[in-house]
Each structure stands twice: as structure tokens, then as C-alpha cells.
Structure 1
Amino acid sequence: MAETVLDYEAEAAHYDRTRGGVPRAGAAAEAVLRLVPPGARTLLDLACGTGLVTERLTRPGLRVYGADAAQAMLRVADGRVPGRVVRSDARRLPLPDASVDAVGAVWLLHLVPFAAEIVAEAARVLRPGGVLVATVDKDAAHDVGSDIDEILRPHRSAAAASDRADLITGHAAAHGLEPAPGTHFTGYGQGATPRDTVRKLRVGHFASWFPGDPATAETLTAALAVLPDQDRPRAEPRYRLACFVRRG
């Protein structure tokens, strides 16, 4: 698990503004669509949040639905894709077996300790030939060689990331999903600043990197606070999008 799971009921009001907004969502949606087969008719966007990515997953003949566990997020999403979102745990989807052509899981698997269960459920609802498209190695995407990274890297690399590509590939293989070529996309608006990284440390974003060790958080905060250009964004992350195909 790469970071503390936030209260997404409370986050809904400002989630888009603090996560790169439309440019980041558009880049994610475009990348997902590159990996969805041309003949796909249905796509389920897991952990759709406010629907900012979901509403951009548009292509002739493709019907897109969203699922999320947070009611406040879904209220926003329903305004963007009316009637096409449902409240659901990603491990227990209200769908029959082999009922959709594609499942997307963008910025989800790094948040949970049960990624294997999500992959298993995606495999269950996929039709033969369908695809699971998911971001993997999210923490690594944020390691862009900046002065911030020099401070965070030892702790980031020691963390047991639940979305590590080799782990997700193993989970997928266990449920009949074969790896296929993936892609990358830019996290527009996500270049870190020292000041914002300190804020994230203080609210627990990286607490799972050093559980039960508040002294480490204080040490990192002090080191970040003396970096130059406190409000200058460093380089934007490049997210990796993996693809897995359901065997027939």
C-alpha cells in the first residue's frame, strides 16, 4: 500500500482541483482508450471518483459506466455521466460473469491492500477477449529525479507497493488474464512542490512508508522545508498503464 487511504467522501469537493484537473484526466482517458479493443462495446471504470476521466472515455459504439465506493464522489460523477454510475466495492461488482468488454482501474491499485481481489473480480466480469487496463508502479512514476525525490526515494523504494507491476501480472495470470502491450501518459499538473509535499506528509499521505514512525515524517518535513523554490513544481510524473487480456 503506497499511501494512506484518504476520506474520499470529504475529498470529493476539491478532488479534481488538487489532482491535475481536466488535462490529467484527458491524458488518462486517451491512454486507456488506446488499449481498449476497437470492437469493445462496454467499459467499466472502477473507482471512477468524480467521473472526470469517465466522461472522457468516449468513442463511437463504446458505452462507459463507473463504479465507486464513495457516495460523495458518485454524486459529482452522476452529473457528468448521468445514470451510468453505481456505488460498489470493486471486489464485489453488481454484474454477472463475462458481462463487459473492458475494465479500467486508473489510480486505484496503489491505494488498497487487496489488489489481488480487484484483479480477480475484473477477470470474472470480463468477456473472453476483454481487457483489464490498470495503472501500475504509481510511486515509481513520481520519481523524476528532483531534489524532492532525493529526499523521498529511500523511503519510497522501501515501501511495499500493492500496485507493483510484477505483483499485478501475477494476480492477473492466476485468473486467466494474459499481459498485453501497455502504454504511458503524463500526469499533467502533478509536478510536486516542496511545500505541497510537506502538506501531504502532515496529513498522512505517505504514512505507510514508515508506519508508526512519526520521527521520520518530521525529519523529511524539515529536509523538504529548506529546499529552494518552495512553490515551483518539479517535473510531472509519467504513469504506466498495464493491459491484460481475458483468455477465451
Structure 2
Amino acid sequence: MLDYDTEADRYDETRGGVPRAAAAAEAVLSLLPPTTGTLVDVACGTGLVTERLTRPGLRVLGFDAAHGMARKAVRRLPGRVARADGRTLPLPDASVDAVSAVWLLHLVPFADEIVAEAARVLRPGGVLVVTVDKDAAHDVGSDIDRILAPRRSHDRASDRADRVGAHAAAHGLVPSGVSRFTGHGQGAHPRGTADRLRRGHYASWFGGGPRACAALAEELAALPDQDRRRADPVYRLVSYAKPPVTPA
């Protein structure tokens, strides 16, 4: 996993910048009930998406465990960002209307704990919105994918939709919606993908360790148009609702 304290200074420019952030924010907002008053954005990163989660009557708070990320985010959202682990949010039970976690669950081995904490802080009728199947979204049918897709271990992904759905069900949350958005600027090119493979960035995607990654990098190096980006990925968001309390 990357060191997000050191990654903070270059995160936005290497992750699609404003176009990708705006698309993500629009997709999150589409899954929030119209009565949503308070949204908590877990792992808000630099706040580039978080500051775009705006509509009348909506108050947004951001939390991130990495000091470098939170430092960037607080400049965009003064007074509305704090450092916190998504497993232990500094919030009372049943205190917020919505929780979002964009590009988080695929990074951690404790996705179930993130979902459990979201369920704890949600009010009845509130929703959790999360990205799922992030790595699979990068299989867009390009020549790069023809090399990488057969070797990807999607069954190991902590954000696999069926796994996240099972975590949600275990904590009383029920499916409530699906949305998609384009990862603008995230289309891969062979040279960059091969370089990341050699540096171990995609180690969690593949079995076989560094040697297997190096072999895949050599295959990528033989592709044409080494610096031409292929199609952008399309990411998937799902929402889970906490059922309202029914009178006895």
C-alpha cells in the first residue's frame, strides 16, 4: 500500500484531477436521499472530491487517517476536516445521514470494519455509499488488459461487490442504489503500467510476486504506442440504506 502522507503532494495530478473528482462527486450525490443533511466522507484524501459534494441543505465533513492528506483537505474545507481512522470515527451512534467512502475499500484488509463503523454512525434511513470492484473497472478491453486481465486476482479484492454486500447485510444495511462514473485521466498506457509493475504498485492484483510482475512488465514493453493512453475506466458506486425504525 502506498504511503499516503508522502503521496499527498502529487495525488491530485496523478489521479485525474478535477474532472475525475467532479464525476465522482456527482455520482455520490445521485445516491443520497433528498433529505440528507449531514454527509461524512471517509478517507477524504486531499478533499478534491469532498469539496464538490455540495447541494442546498447538505453539510459535509471529511476524515482521513493520513496527516498529509488531511493537511491538504483542510485547506479546501476549513473547519470541516479532521484526522481519523475510518474504523473509529469520532462521532456518536446514529448521528449522520450519509457516509461515503470513494476509492477506499480496495486498499484495506478491513473493509468489514469500515462498513460496520458506517452502520454505527448512520441514522435510521441513512445511506452508505462506496466504490466497489475498483480493480475490475480497469479491465476496459485494451491490449494492456489482454495481458493483465487473465492474471488479475479479483477474488482477492477486498472491495468485491459481493463481499461488501455481505458486510453491509451483516450490519443491517440493505442495497438501495447503483451509480457509475468515468475515471477521467485514468486510462493506462503501457510504459507507465510497466513502470508501476516494476515498482510493486500492483502487487495485490497478481500472484507470483516480483518475478511475475517483472515478466508482465516485459510483455507490456513490447506493445505499440507506449505512451498512448487507453480508454478511461468506469467506476461503480453502490449504496446501502439503514432501514428506518418502524413503530412497535
The two structures have a TM-score, normalised by structure 1, of 0.96
Residue matched to 2:186 = 190
Residue matched to 1:107 = 103
Aligned length: 244
Residue matched to 1:17 = 13
- The runs of 5 or more residues in structure 2 that have no matched partner are none
Residue matched to 1:166 = 162
Q: Which amino acid aligns with 1:188?
A: H
Change in Cα spacing, 1:72 to 1:230, as seen in structure 2 (3 Å) is: same
Q: Which amino acid aligns with 2:148?
A: L
From 45, 49, 59, the equivalent of 2:41 is 45
- Report matched runs for 1:1-248 at 5 Å: 5-210=1-206, 213-248=209-244
Q: Secondary structure at 1:132's aligned position in 2? A: strand
Change in Cα spacing, 1:139 to 1:210, as seen in structure 2 (3 Å) is: closer
- The whole-number CA distance in structure 2 between the counterparts of 1:165 and 1:215 is 30
Q: Which amino acid aligns with 1:226?
A: A
- The whole-number CA distance in structure 1 between the counterparts of 2:147 and 2:36 is 44
Deviations 1:162-190 (A, max 9, x none): 00000000000000100012110000000
Report sequence identity in percent: 69
Q: Which amino acid aligns with 2:124?
A: P
Deviations 1:34-83 (A, max 9, x none): 00111111000010000000000001100001000000111110010111
- The whole-number CA distance in structure 1 between the counterparts of 2:183 and 2:54 is 20
- The whole-number CA distance in structure 2 between the counterparts of 1:200 and 1:214 is 12
Deviations 1:110-130 (A, max 9, x none): 000100000000000000000
Whether the 8 Å contact between 2:63 and 2:84 is mirrored in structure 1 is yes
Whether the 8 Å contact between 2:153 and 2:206 is mirrored in structure 1 is no
Whether the 8 Å contact between 1:42 and 1:102 is mirrored in structure 2 is yes
- The whole-number CA distance in structure 2 between the counterparts of 1:50 and 1:158 is 28
Deviations 1:10-44 (A, max 9, x none): 00010000000000000000000000111111000
- The runs of 5 or more residues in structure 1 that have no matched partner are none
Cα deviation, residue 205, structure 1: 1.4
